[in-house]
Amino acid sequence: MLKPIQLPSGKIIDIDKCLAIIPGSTSTDSEVVLSGIEHHLQIDSIDLETLNAAIQQQIVSQPRYAFEFRTISQDLERRDRVSDRFEALRQKRSELSTQPDADRAFEVFSKLVDAERASGQKLYSLE
């Protein structure tokens, strides 16, 4: 998403493309390195203040993502639950396959499994 800002000098910069601000040899000029542009853009101190303020505002307004931290025991519990569920489904499938009408039983089994899965993650149907 483009986030252009106009600097006091009239230059328009997309702050999402801003990679670095390099201080110049004097305190009144700096260079901005933008993604996708080979040359650096010269800006003066007023433009630098505006650009810094816009970058700070973007940093503050960006959403923070919460990570789920789990302990090893929580991971093992989850793995065991998934493993138990898989084992139960495997046993059910083997029970159904020994019945005389195994093809029909497998069809019912596959519909039951796919009913619990989201679209695009079906195991037996083309959804």
> Does the pLDDT value for residue 5 go beyond 80?
yes
pLDDT one-digit tens code per residue, 14-63: 888 888 888 877 667 888 888 888 888 888 888 888 888 888 888 777 77
Q: Quick one: which H or E segment has residue 34?
A: strand 29-34
What's the chain's average pLDDT? 80
> In the prediction, which pLDDT does 122 show?
74
How many Cα atoms within 13 Å fall on the side-chain side of residue 38? Answer: 0
Q: What is the chain's Cα-based Rg?
A: 29
> In the prediction, which pLDDT does 48 show?
86
pLDDT (average), residues 77-103 = 80
In angstroms, the CA 55 to CA 93 distance is 58
pTM of the model: 0.45
> In the prediction, which pLDDT does 111 show?
82
> Does the pLDDT value for residue 12 go beyond 80?
yes
> In the prediction, which pLDDT does 70 show?
76
